[in-house]
Amino acid sequence: MDMKVAYETMLGLAAEMILDEALRKFRTERLYKAIDDALAQGDAETFRRLTDELKAMLA
């Protein structure tokens, strides 16, 4: 029974890691798109804010 609990715990941790990675990738892609939009619109303030957010997320 103890092995089953350990196995379920490991599966839970693996699922959480996969979800965290998918969420990080989604947020990163969304930030890149918003940065591109800010550049296209010439919005320097938004560009700086978003690039700072991206740098913090990737650090």
Confidence class for position 4, pLDDT limits 50, 70, 90: confident
Contact between 32 and 54 (Cβ < 8 Å):
yes
- Whether residue 2 is predicted with pLDDT greater than 90 in this model: the reply is no
Task: Provide the whole-model pTM.
Answer: 0.77
- Residue 46 clears pLDDT 70, i.e. is over it: yes
Q: How many residues does the chain have?
A: 59
CB atoms within 10 A of CB 54: 16
**What is the rounded average pLDDT of the residues 32-55?**
97
Which of 59, 28, 29, 33 is CA-nearest to residue 46?
33
Q: Which two tokens stand for residue 21?
A: 């990675």
- Average confidence (pLDDT) over 11-40: 97
Mean pLDDT across 30-39: 98
pLDDT for position 3: 87
